[in-house]
Amino acid sequence: MQGIQDPKLIKHFSYINGSWHSSETEFDVTNPATGDVIAKVSNAGIAETELAVKSAKAALAMWSEKSANERAHLLRNWFNLMMQHQDDLGRILTLEQGKPLAEAKGEIAYGAAFIEWFAEEGKRVYGDTIPGPSADKRIIVIKQPVGVVASITPWNFPNAMIARKAAAALAAGCTFVVRPAAQTPLSALAMAELAERAGIPAGVFNVVTGDDAHGMGEVLTQHPDVAKFTFTGSTAVGKLLIAQCASTVKKVSMELGGNAPFIVFDDADIDAAVQGAVASKYRNAGQTCVCTNRIFVQQGVIKEFTEKLTASVAALNIGNGLTDGINIGPMISKSAADGVNKLVTESVAAGAKIILGGNIDQAGENFYQPTIMTNVTNDMPIAANEIFGPVSPIICFTYEAEVIAMANDSPYGLASYFYARDIGRIWRVAEGLEYGMVGINEGIISNAAAPFGGMKQSGNGREGSKYGLDDYLEIKYLCMGGLDK
Ligand code: SIN
């Protein structure tokens, strides 16, 4: 792993109870841009996952009894270390995940921002007093940590998706076990190294790396000592995990798939809309659950918007994320690129037209060309499915009510975007969209202060913001009686 200034950030073992834990076998971590094996990492399984849960359980009383200030101090140390090592963490992330280096460093700052946010927010876990039903009673509400939190996190944001969950859990007084995606364990292990340097005590933050998704997932979702399970990933896998959590009635929060509409009305600032569409669609080569998935453009501006979008997207450079000036890195795997190509090909067969890109790129089998398609309808495969790749399907519409109905015609309800200037329309559309997040004249909506999450089959719970702590807290009602004078 060239170019890493602090080689101690490269770890090959699971981090359990404050120790680096080797397993009998290893698995390969591959650079998706080159196909090179960049590291071999311990292949933990069921036994190690159970050990991590046991360690988190053992550390729970010690951690939850610390004051919010003490926890905030340690989280703040962790945040500082992440920012001090932003360059190395970004490089590790690009090497294992593929996104361009500038974007990877941006993800480190994004992940660290959750740690900083929750370090502060943990001090504001306020309770309540409620007027009682009779003079001799008082009703008091306190909030307490739920307990051990288990999580499974995805490869598309190997740092930020862990930070967003772990920071909220730790700030609330919970202990934490994560199984990061097998494609991207190195970012998670580097975070563990920095958590240790920050002084976060043994057992509070545990990382188990392994390729047995099924076996490890069963432990994390079914272990009686896990009080809450949180997952970011596909809706299909999320449904299975929710079902597994049922046997022990765990608290669950799920951040699942999306099919984000991006609507451009006749009265929009077209240049701003083009800029927003490029930012929201082509970030991480289209591999985010909030990426624009369907672009709806009103008849009167479709020509101008399409021409300007095509010019902007044609200027994007595709290649190895470590090379200067690259905007689009590889997809995570050949099968991911092939999957996108299949959606494109099937939609062309159904009548769509490719006006830019439309194929695997000569940069390599994992690279998909930034693509624009027109003549698309809402029922074509490229619109009906979550693309998770750098393709913009453009759908023409005439009326406001028509586009709201088309935008909502999806089982998903995560992110949505629209560009308009008329204030009445802005309220009507914002309220009419069945999505947990709405970008209004804005293509990048994610930040630590905002509640990230979805409706319908895009999941439940919110991450980040003052609401992000709620999923990690139990509400307890204290009824004080016998207060007669
Ligand atoms: C995701 O794709 O899961 C998260 C994207 C974001 O946080 O912006």
What per-residue confidence (pLDDT) applies to 379? 97
Q: 53 near 177, Cβ under 8 Å?
A: yes
User: What CATH number belongs to 260-447?
Assistant: 3.40.309.10
CB 288 within 8 A of CB 276: no
Quote the percentage of the chain above a pLDDT of 70: 100
Q: What's the 366 CA to ligand 1 centre distance in angstroms? A: 21
pLDDT band at residue 112, thresholds of 50, 70 and 90? very high
pLDDT at position 1: 75
pLDDT-derived band at 7 (thresholds 50, 70, 90) equals very high
Instruction: Give strand pairing partners of 14.
Output: 21
**Average pLDDT, rounded, for the chain:** 97
pLDDT in tens, 206-262: 999 999 999 999 999 999 999 999 999 999 999 999 999 999 999 999 999 999 999
Which of 369, 380, 282, 264 is CA-nearest to residue 327? 282
pLDDT at residue 275, rounded to an integer: 98
Q: Is there a catalytic annotation at residue 396?
A: no
Domain ranges of the chain: 7-256+458-477, 260-447
Q: Residue 125: which pLDDT band, with cuts at 50, 70 and 90?
A: very high
459/439 Cα distance (integer angstroms)? 19
Q: What is the DSSP letter of 204?
A: S
- Measured CA to CA, the distance from residue 163 to residue 166 in angstroms comes to 5
Annotated active-site residue 289? The verdict is yes
Residue 94 is predicted with a pLDDT of 98
Residue from 110, 114, 157 whose mutation best tests the ligand 1 pocket (most atoms within 8 A of CB):
157
Q: How far apart are CA 58 and CA 186, in angstroms?
A: 26
The stretch 182-207 carries a mean pLDDT of 98
- Tell which residue, 461, 472, 465, has the closest CA to residue 448: 465
- Could you tell me if the CB of 288 is within 6 A of ligand 1? yes
Q: What is the pLDDT of residue 174?
A: 98
In the Cβ-directed half-sphere of 60, how many Cα atoms lie within 13 Å? 21
Establish whether residue 110 lines the binding site of ligand 1, counting it when its CB lies within 6 angstroms of any ligand atom. Answer: no
> Which residues, 6+ apart, have CB-to-CB distance to 303 below 8 Å?
none
Local confidence band at 290 (pLDDT 50, 70, 90 cut-offs): very high
For 357, the enclosing helix (H) or strand (E) is none
Atom of ligand 1 at shortest range from CA of 110 = 7
pLDDT of the residue at 484? 79
Render pLDDT for 425-456 as a digit per residue (tens, 0 to 9).
999 999 999 999 999 999 999 999 999 999 99
Q: What is the DSSP letter of 463?
A: B
CA nearest neighbour of 203 among 178, 175, 225? 175
Question: So what's the pLDDT on residue 2?
Answer: 78
Question: What mean pLDDT is predicted for residues 16-35?
Answer: 97
- Please state, for a pLDDT cut of 90, what percent of the chain lies above it: 98
Same fold for the pair 7-256+458-477 and 260-447: no
Centre of ligand 1 to C-alpha 291, Å, is 8
Contact 118/234 with Cβ under 8 angstroms? no
Residues 6+ apart with CB under 8 A from 326: 100, 317, 318, 319, 320
The rounded distance, in Å, linking the Cα atoms of 107 and 104 is: 5
pLDDT band at 42 (very low <50, low <70, confident <90, very high): very high
- CA nearest ligand 1 atom 5, residue: 288
Cα angle 223, 150, 69; round to 5: 125
What is the position in ligand 1's atom list of the atom closest to the CA of 452? 7
114 Cβ closer than 6 Å to some ligand 1 atom: no
Distance CA 284, CA 415 (A): 16
Six-digit token pair at 77? 């140390």
pLDDT at 336 over 80: yes
- How far, in Å, CA of 350 to CA of 344, rounded? 10
**Cα–Cα distance measured from residue 164 to residue 471, given in angstroms and rounded to the nearest whole number:** 12
Task: Give me the count of residues in the chain.
Answer: 485
Of 159, 289, 293, the residue with max ligand 1 atoms within 8 A of its CB, to mutate for a pocket test, comes to: 289
Report how far ligand 1's centroid is from the alpha carbon of 82 (Å).
19
Is any atom of ligand 1 closer than 6 Å to the C-beta of 242? no
Residue 48: count of CB within 10 angstroms of its CB: 25
Ligand 1 atom with the smallest distance to the CA of 446 is 8
- Superfamily holding 7-256+458-477: Aldehyde Dehydrogenase; Chain A, domain 1 (3.40.605.10)
How much distance in Å is there from the Cα of 445 to the middle of ligand 1?
Answer: 10
Spatial neighbors of 30 by CB under 8 A, at least 6 apart, are 36, 37, 38, 96, 183
pLDDT greater than 80 at residue 485? no
Q: Give the model's pLDDT for residue 420.
A: 98
CA of 142 to the centre of ligand 1 (A): 32
Largest CA distance in the chain: 84
Residues 6+ away with beta carbon under 8 Å from 134: none
Positions of E strands within 25-137 = 26-30, 37-42, 128-130
Which pair of structure tokens corresponds to residue 404? 């709201």
Q: Mean per-residue pLDDT for 103-113?
A: 98
The Cα angle at residue 379 between residues 375 and 380, in degrees rounded to 5? 55
Res. 198: pLDDT tops 90: yes
Q: What is the pTM of this model?
A: 0.97
Of the candidates 303, 301, 302, 283, the residue with the CA atom closest to the CA atom of residue 293: 283
